[in-house]
Structure 1
Amino acid sequence: MGIFTMLSITLCLPFFFLCLKTAFSSSLHLCSHEEAAALLQFKTSFPINYTVCPPDYSKTESWKEGIDCCSWDGVSCDNVTGHVIALDLSDDCLSGTFPSNSTLFLLKNLKSLNLSFNDFRLSKIPPEISQFTRLKHLDICYSEFSGQFPAEIAHLSKLVSLNLSNLFSFESDTVVVSSLGNLILETTTLRNLVQNLSEVRELVLSGVNMTSVNPRFFINLSSSLTTLDLRYIQLRGNFPNSIFRFPNLKNFYLSGSFGERNLTIDLPSSNWSSPLQQLYLSVMDCGRRLPESIGDLKSLQYLHLHCNFEGSIPASIGNLRQLTSLYLSNNQFSGPIPASIEADMFSALQNLETIFLSYNNLSLRMNVNANFTLPKLTDVSFSSCNLSEFPNFIRHSNSLQSLVLSKNRIHGNIPEWICEKDHLQILDLSHNNLSGKIPNCLPKSLSVLNLQANYFNGNIPFGFPERCVLRNLNLHGNQMDGLLPRSLVNCSMLEVLDVGNNSIQDTFPHWLESLPELQVLVLRSNKFHGSVQSTKESPSFPKLRVLDLSSNDFLGPLPLQYMENFKAMMDSHGQDGSLEYMMVAPGGNSYQYSLVVTLKGHDYELQGILTAFSSIHLSNNMFEGEIPDVIGKLSSLKGLNLSHNNLTGHIPPSLGNLTNLEWLDLSSNELAGKIPDELVSLTQLSVLNLSNNHLVGRIPQGSQFNTFENGSYEGNLGLCGVPLSKSCDGIGTPPSSFQEKDELWRFGWRVVVLGYGCGVVFGLLMGYLVFRTGKPKWFVSLFDGRPSQSGRKMRKARRLVPRRS
């Protein structure tokens, strides 16, 4: 053995013994038998449902007896003692009631616990959670806990981060949607929590019900706080603006209740000493004007203000050189910004990635001296900003993903440089004065193309590529003609196709049956013709929820074969009141789909399509034959309109199964027989029109039928009973006393219908319009028959009722 070899061994021996000692030490500190047993017992409390959870998805699947629990997925142990100190079971398919005697509470050494995104089925948060005296990180957001927070949670004094968020929400340019969870935080618990969390840095309470809490308690928060998230917490009163002087606060989110402005906060006119990086204030009163001092927040990267501000946008916004996201939509900012200030303000924001200024009273120019570029820009939304031209500074933003310029006065053609935006996913130019032909060179990356309510003419471009990723194509309300391009079958992800109110002349596009994701098909007010019968025996349109073929020249029987396969319309499980909308969200910015619906003969544009919304509109065609019974199986239907056709036979009693129905129009047909008593079970019905048929007998009474007036039944000479003056006893006009009682009864029900018959669709429409206008004038206009402007054009007159131009 040489000297060199001996020297090498001598030098390596210490490292060898160190490794041996470490391995030996580790073997002595495996997960304890008691803690492993506690975890295995906890696992048995939540058996995995493999119908909703893929195999091997849950972390607890790796938990096996006889294997060191420190090696299990989601389990972390102390390297020295072997105690379990961290447990991460987030998004783990845990489903079931959380027991108060859970063996999880035996893990006394836990420092981090994450149970977020599970389903504990509205369990109460056990008071035993206070036994985790060493806990520093607790995250139980979106886990379906309910009830009041136990007072014992304030004993977790070592917490550094606490996430109790229980909120589903999203905001877009047109609507704010929030769905509060079931957790309640009362005054005493919050006061103790705030006072005891002396080391907390991150506190997330969004969506928690704090109706009884006084906002002043938040003054006592730890000065070490870096993040405070209080979105949609139902606070009332004045929030202390001393929060803006917290020395370490980087992220602050605060918003009031949807539809209310009972929460106020006064923005400082100077001395914003906190190093804010993200500031979110929404649906609340922040004062009339945004102070120029906002420009003092030099570290600000994200600014979202939705506070009904008036006046001008402060020029000091241009001082926020670190800003990446600027959201000032849905305020009352007004007036033209001087061209020089406008250019200087925006050109300075070279890090800007998203800019939202929609729905103010601004008059943006964006072209005068607008020779600057914003190279990092990805998302632009300038809806309703009085623009007359395309903003020139966008031209060289090569990373652009979303461009929304709807509801402006932009005229002319779509500029050629749009075709060069290879990353563009959303293009919304709806409700402008654009004209000419739609260019065939639009990016192949588009997910949404909304050109509704313009003056485009000619054929729809035929060049939809084989791997088309389009999910929403809306050409409603233009002057398009020719055929519907068959290349649309290449868009296998297409969810919404709306070509209504054009001059397209074609037969029913049976080939759309092959689109597996199609949910909304609108062909209304065109020149489609022929029968609407399936050419396939296999199921077609399985996900279709909205079908509008109205005001065309379709003939023959109603499309029975299609109706038998409308599986999505037969599923009423989505009728639970949840506010889920069809949307896309590239880069995290949501874009929701819109839809024009017809109520009482007028068009209304819904700024959002609920995933639970279903309707069939086949009016103003030449369909004939009987109404098929299978319609009664479409249990999720909100609206059914078969009016102005040549339908014969009786009204099927099976329509009484459509318990989610909110409007039913069978007027101007050749229907005969009695009105089925089964229709009384339609307790959500708020619009009924059976006029101009050959119906006979007594009008059913009870429930919603007590709210409908003469117009629902006129033109049926054989009908009798309330609300008609014709009695069913053959005597003639009822006595005057009966008439007075009947008028009083119907007047009372006109009031009741406000809250009783609106249902989900009218409720959401009311919420949106009240939110946008602050007034309930929509209800008056709706029932006076005043339609919204949706770009509808005059169509040829035939045997139909006159249409609005």
Structure 2
Amino acid sequence: MMLVVVRVVVCVHIFMLFHFACLSSHSCHSEESSALLHFKTQLITNTTFYDYYYANFCPYVYPKMRTWENGTDCCSWMGVTCDSLSGHVIGLDLSCSALVGIIHPNSTLFHLTRLQTLNFAYNYFYNSQLSSQFGEFVSLTHLNLSSCGFEGDIPSQISHLSKLQSLDLSLNYGLKWEETTWKRLLQNTSLREIVLDQTDMSLIGPTPNPLSLIANLSSTLVTLSLGYTRIRGSLTSDIFCLPNLQHLILTGNELSVHLSELSCTTSLSILDLSDCGIQGPISSSFYNLTHLTSLNLADNQLNGSISSSLLNLQRLTHLDLSRNELSGQIPNVFDKLTKLQTLSLSDNNFQGKLPSSLFTLTQLSQLDCSSNQIEGPLPKQVAFSNLIELFLEDNLLNGTIPPSILSLKSLRSLDLSNNRFIGYISSEITSYSLEYLFLCGNKLQENILESISHFVNLTYLCLSSDNWSGTVHFQLFSKLQKLEYLSLSGCNSLLLESETSMNYTFLNLYALQLFSNNIIGWSKFSGKFPQLEFLELSNNKLEGKIPNWIHDIPSLCHLKLSHNMITSIGHQFPWYHFEYLDLSFNLMDDDISSFFCNTTSLEVINLSHNRFTGTFPQCLANTSSLVDLDIQMNKLHGNLSDNFKQLQLETLNLNGNQFEGLLPKSLSSCTYLVDLDLGNNQFEDTFPDWLQNLSSLEILVLGGNKLYGPIANLKSENIFPSLIYLDISCNNFSGSLPKAYIQNFQAMKIVGDEVQRRLVDYIDTSFGAIVGNILPEYDNSVIATVKGTNTPFAKIPTTFVNIDLSENKFEGEIPDDFGELHGLIGLNLSHNRLVGHIPHSLGNLTNLESLDLSSNMLTGDIPTELANLNFLEVLSLSQNQLVGPIPRGKQFDTFSNDSYEGNMGLCGFPLSIQCNNVSLQQCPSSEAEDKFGFGWKPVAIGYACGVVLGIGLGFCVFSIGKPQWLVIIFGGKRIKRRSRGNRRARTT
């Protein structure tokens, strides 16, 4: 087959050579030949670079300049066109020629002043500036510089090309338009085709409307493509009324759309307004564009239903309304749209049944109605004689899968996963076309496995479910020798080993996902996987050592064995070719001190929640490829060597081990670090202010160590600029709260949707993403306190902003600056020695859900501003010296007595002490706790003297009976602080 292709390409090239030679009756002019040869010396041919970047754009690559030889007629050179009368070079087409280099302003290219067509598309010119010399080609009618790597401002001289009919500068991501250049180009040319996708037009407009300037080309413009140019402005009806406009592509821009009823005759055939931020219902004007063959309104915020006037667009071949907010039932009008070839209505809120007319479209090759709420069975008979792809996943479809769909002769891809299909598939059905079959997440019966084994051309197969009863024999899948990806879960019993003791081989399988099964015989399995790269066997009740058949897979680079009962890795693992390793949540107790010393490519390692022993594997500190390391909750010990240098680390989680000594300062050189969790160890050091300049750090957990001393108030404007989660609880920090840090937590000042940071993922590379979002995401374990409850997270979302400084020895007042951290969800300052009033500025934290100021020495009243915290669900102000009435209304009416206990002077709901019945004498605050070593309540009684004590106690007993605080004192009871073992763990 390859030989045939090569012969065809060679024949095409030979034909082109003869074609170019015959175009001219004159020899090439010597000065133009010299200019071309000199231009050739400024560039190189690099087919490897081409294959990597441009293979999807060009049907083939041919280094055309290789035919350019001195002493030969340049009019015969490939890519060169000469005028048939004068012999001058008028055309130069070097597209897809694998050229690499720089086009300088003094290049001899610009000596070819008679050029009429110039095409350099899909070469790479090293981020060259687009020279103003291009404006000297005054005879140019066609200029194509698509995807050439040009950057910088587009020169105004481009507007001198008054004869230009076609301009394509697309896919030059660094090219920028000035407004004056854009205006002059439209004024001085008669362009028929403008293709500028992914150039930068953000400096144009929105006033005057840059799209309205197109009116200057009203009599000539046929194609306008400005996708992802960041152009701003309004899309109005007059654009659609341009008499010759056929193709309008504005995808990926933020446009306001103002369409009135079209009163003109339009020739528009292709309209792409996807990802333009269009809101509201679909304008009825779209349905008046009766010449449309392709309409793309995907990725907007369109809502409402689809009008039955859709049938006006009877010339449509392609319709895409996916990823919007459309609802209602899909109208039953498709019997009028008989030319439809592709239809996508996915990711909306459509309900009801699929319309029957949809299944009559004989020209349809692709149908995508996935991710809606469509229900009901599929019809038993369909007329999809040309259907290649059918995507109906993530709906509420039920019943059995019709044999007529599985038997479609042209069907290659079928995805019915995550529906409610039941029953079985007839063993009489055989498909020779199906390559991708996804039936995961249904209630099908296990006997379909035998039927599917007859689909001999399957390459991707997903059968994960929770409904497979009986015993499933894995050997069955060996019949599918073209299989590349297999996912199977939910088996009551999955037998790996062969009943006949025969070895069987999966020649092409590169991804195997067998999770949440009850696997039998994994240690005796003898199958061969010569191409396997991705293997997941998580949550399968696997026991013992990792068997040799896994060790012996030569191509394995991604392994996930989490959530089993595996006790040992076994003999030396072939780390050297691994990229991803997840052994978390097992019973492994190997000594890992010398692990990974022969690895060169490991990027993700998760050994968390095991019983691994030994010291930190120092070889990892020299692994430059390492991105994510999670070894939390093991039995590792010893000091960390200070050699974390030149690493690409984004995540380092050592929580819940027995590491000790100083924190390694070399972590400050890990400039990509996003998540650093060293909590619940035995580190003994001061606060690591040397981490403050890590611009990407978003999570810092140091709680549960032996860190000590004050946190210096550094004078800097760049202190932890991206931090959104800080936990330094359960240490011995002292002094005042770190006001300078609080003032500079810039990321915490941003609320919710305004923040543009990416999601923080403890293990950023998911097992699923590696194979194209087929496999599920990596399930790491992060537990944070949310609303007073330990909550597991697979990811910490950008909206979860938290500060925990509890259980230290901080003293002084709470800074007002906390009130500027508007993104805060949780704030815990409990069990310190804080004094003074609760800042009124905390009432500005309108996103706050949890506030814990308990067990301090705070005085004064509870600010009424806190009653405005509409999302506050957990509040603890207990064990302080607060006085006065408890605020009423909103969330405060939902809190129980526990939120306020231990504050003698508080009154009002929910306490039984009514504010109009009691007025207790308050005891002055003192430093008695520091001097005598016990809490403020007994000290308070000691300060109350004589008559005050007698009257106060008598009045209280008379009014409210035996008060709790009196029982505590005279009953000899003490307020007990939460022990470290009972504290609310943040990242266990």
Offset at 1:89?
Answer: 4.0
- Map 1:191-230; keep pairs closer than 5 Å: 191-193=332-334, 195-211=335-351, 213-215=352-354, 217=356, 220-230=359-369
Q: What is the number of residues matched between the two proteins?
A: 685
Q: Which position in structure 1 is the counterpart of 2:635? A: 455
Alignment deviations for residues 720-754 of structure 1 (CA, whole Å, 9 cap, x no partner): 1111111111169xxxxxxxxxxxxxxxxxxxxxx
Q: Which position in structure 2 is the counterpart of 1:741? A: none
Offset at 1:357?
Answer: 3.5
Q: Which position in structure 2 is the counterpart of 1:666? A: 853
* CA distance in 2 between partners of 1:483 and 1:244 (Å): 72
Offset at 1:84?
Answer: 6.2
Alignment deviations for residues 427-461 of structure 1 (CA, whole Å, 9 cap, x no partner): 33333343334433344323222223333333446
Offset at 1:670?
Answer: 1.3
Residues 1:323 and 2:483 are matched in the alignment? yes
Q: Which position in structure 2 is the counterpart of 1:275? A: 433
| CA gap 1:262/1:567 in 2 versus in 1, 3 angstroms | same
Alignment deviations for residues 210-233 of structure 1 (CA, whole Å, 9 cap, x no partner): 12x313637615344443333321
Aligned amino acid, residue 385 of structure 1: N
Q: Does the aligned pair in 2 maintain the 1:339–1:368 contact within 8 Å?
A: yes
* CA distance in 2 between partners of 1:622 and 1:289 (Å): 66
Q: Which position in structure 2 is the counterpart of 1:49? A: none
| CA gap 1:599/1:142 in 2 versus in 1, 3 angstroms | closer
- Map 1:36-75; keep pairs closer than 5 Å: 56=176, 64-74=186-196
Q: 2:688 aligns with which of 509, 513, 517?
A: 509
Aligned amino acid, residue 657 of structure 1: N
Offset at 1:579?
Answer: 11
Q: Does the aligned pair in 2 maintain the 1:376–1:399 contact within 8 Å?
A: yes
Q: Which position in structure 1 is the counterpart of 2:375? A: 236
Gaps of 5+ in 1: 32-52, 76-81, 167-180, 733-797
Residues 1:634 and 2:821 are matched in the alignment? yes
Offset at 1:309?
Answer: 3.4
Secondary structure in 1 matching 2:374: coil
* CA distance in 2 between partners of 1:526 and 1:71 (Å): 67
| CA gap 1:617/1:165 in 2 versus in 1, 3 angstroms | same
| CA gap 1:668/1:320 in 2 versus in 1, 3 angstroms | farther
Offset at 1:702?
Answer: 0.5
| CA gap 1:498/1:291 in 2 versus in 1, 3 angstroms | same
Q: Which position in structure 2 is the counterpart of 1:750? A: none
| CA gap 1:456/1:648 in 2 versus in 1, 3 angstroms | same
* CA distance in 2 between partners of 1:298 and 1:214 (Å): 32
Q: Which position in structure 1 is the counterpart of 2:295? A: 138
Residues 1:650 and 2:837 are matched in the alignment? yes
* CA distance in 1 between partners of 2:681 and 2:382 (Å): 55
Aligned amino acid, residue 383 of structure 1: S
Offset at 1:149?
Answer: 3.0
Q: Which has the larger radius of gyration?
A: 2
Q: Which position in structure 2 is the counterpart of 1:557? A: 736
Q: Under a length normalisation based on structure 2, what TM-score does the superposition of the two structures give?
A: 0.61
Q: Does the aligned pair in 2 maintain the 1:88–1:114 contact within 8 Å?
A: no
Aligned amino acid, residue 321 of structure 1: Q
Aligned amino acid, residue 69 of structure 1: L
* CA distance in 2 between partners of 1:236 and 1:578 (Å): 37
Q: Does the aligned pair in 2 maintain the 1:318–1:344 contact within 8 Å?
A: no
* CA distance in 1 between partners of 2:656 and 2:380 (Å): 48
Q: Does the aligned pair in 2 maintain the 1:256–1:283 contact within 8 Å?
A: no
Aligned amino acid, residue 369 of structure 2: L
Q: Does the aligned pair in 2 maintain the 1:401–1:423 contact within 8 Å?
A: no
Q: Which position in structure 2 is the counterpart of 1:34? A: none
* CA distance in 2 between partners of 1:339 and 1:203 (Å): 45
Residues 1:706 and 2:931 are matched in the alignment? no
Gaps of 5+ in 2: 1-20, 28-74, 92-114, 118-138, 144-172, 198-218, 246-265, 398-416, 579-599, 920-975, 984-988
Q: Which position in structure 1 is the counterpart of 2:156? A: none
Alignment deviations for residues 235-278 of structure 1 (CA, whole Å, 9 cap, x no partner): 233345767986643453511379x9875465634426483333
Q: Does the aligned pair in 2 maintain the 1:30–1:70 contact within 8 Å?
A: no
Offset at 1:586?
Answer: 4.8
Q: Relative CO higher for 1 or 2, CA cutoff 8 Å, sep ≥ 6?
A: 1
Offset at 1:483?
Answer: 3.1
| CA gap 1:205/1:608 in 2 versus in 1, 3 angstroms | same
Offset at 1:423?
Answer: 4.1
Alignment deviations for residues 336-358 of structure 1 (CA, whole Å, 9 cap, x no partner): 5242379989x644433333334
Q: Which position in structure 2 is the counterpart of 1:524? A: 703
Secondary structure in 1 matching 2:847: coil
Secondary structure in 2 matching 1:236: strand
**RMSD of the TM alignment (CA)?**
4.5
Offset at 1:703?
Answer: 0.5
Q: Under a length normalisation based on structure 1, what TM-score does the superposition of the two structures give?
A: 0.74
Alignment deviations for residues 613-643 of structure 1 (CA, whole Å, 9 cap, x no partner): 2111111222111111111110011111111
Alignment deviations for residues 64-86 of structure 1 (CA, whole Å, 9 cap, x no partner): 333343442259xxxxxx98666
Residues 1:184 and 2:327 are matched in the alignment? yes
| CA gap 1:440/1:552 in 2 versus in 1, 3 angstroms | same
Q: Does the aligned pair in 1 maintain the 2:491–2:518 contact within 8 Å?
A: yes
* CA distance in 2 between partners of 1:232 and 1:342 (Å): 43
* CA distance in 1 between partners of 2:910 and 2:432 (Å): 66
Alignment deviations for residues 100-126 of structure 1 (CA, whole Å, 9 cap, x no partner): 665367534444333333323x14332
Offset at 1:372?
Answer: 2.9
Q: Does the aligned pair in 2 maintain the 1:482–1:504 contact within 8 Å?
A: yes
Q: 1:152 aligns with which of 304, 309, 324?
A: 309
Q: Does the aligned pair in 2 maintain the 1:216–1:239 contact within 8 Å?
A: no
* CA distance in 2 between partners of 1:615 and 1:646 (Å): 21
| CA gap 1:119/1:683 in 2 versus in 1, 3 angstroms | same
Q: Which position in structure 2 is the counterpart of 1:91? A: 228
Aligned amino acid, residue 514 of structure 1: N
Q: Which position in structure 2 is the counterpart of 1:539? A: 718
* CA distance in 2 between partners of 1:571 and 1:400 (Å): 43
- Map 1:653-732; keep pairs closer than 5 Å: 653-730=840-917
Alignment deviations for residues 296-351 of structure 1 (CA, whole Å, 9 cap, x no partner): 333333334555433355633333333333344xx533335242379989x64443
Using the TM superposition, name which of 563-572 and 199-208 deviates more: 199-208
Q: Does the aligned pair in 1 maintain the 2:730–2:980 contact within 8 Å?
A: no
Secondary structure in 2 matching 1:706: helix
Alignment deviations for residues 576-602 of structure 1 (CA, whole Å, 9 cap, x no partner): 999966444555445577532125765
Q: Does the aligned pair in 1 maintain the 2:787–2:850 contact within 8 Å?
A: no
Q: 1:335 aligns with which of 470, 481, 493?
A: 493
Q: Which position in structure 1 is the counterpart of 2:165? A: none
Aligned amino acid, residue 670 of structure 1: M
* CA distance in 2 between partners of 1:244 and 1:716 (Å): 76
* CA distance in 1 between partners of 2:366 and 2:664 (Å): 52
Q: Does the aligned pair in 1 maintain the 2:812–2:833 contact within 8 Å?
A: yes
Q: Does the aligned pair in 2 maintain the 1:494–1:515 contact within 8 Å?
A: yes
* CA distance in 2 between partners of 1:397 and 1:431 (Å): 26
Aligned amino acid, residue 346 of structure 2: S
